[in-house]
Amino acid sequence: MKKLLFIFALVVGGYYVSNAQTPADIYNTFASDTKVTTISVSDFAIKLAGENDDLVKNIESIQVLSLSNCDVDVKDRFAKAVNSLKTEGFETLVKVNHDDKTVKVFAKVNNDIINELLVVTTGKYPVLIVLKGSISKSELMSKSNTLSKNFSLNM
Tell me which amino acid residue 48 is. Answer: L
Summarize pLDDT for 7-48 with one digit per residue, the tens.
Answer: 544 444 444 344 679 999 999 999 999 999 999 998 888 888
Output the pTM of the full model: 0.77
- Cα Dmax for the chain: 66
For residue 149, pLDDT over 90 is answered with: no
Our CA angle for 60, 42, 120, nearest 5°, is 70
Cα separation of 26 and 9, whole Å?
26
Q: Which amino acid is located at 145 in the chain?
A: N
* Helix (H/G/I), strand (E/B), else coil: 44: helix
The one-letter code for the residue type at 138 is: S
Domain positions in the chain are 20-153
User: Which DSSP category does 70 fall into?
Assistant: S
Q: What is the pLDDT of residues 68-100, one digit of tens each?
A: 999 999 999 999 999 999 999 999 999 999 888
By C-alpha distance, which of 1, 136, 120 is closest to 56?
Answer: 136
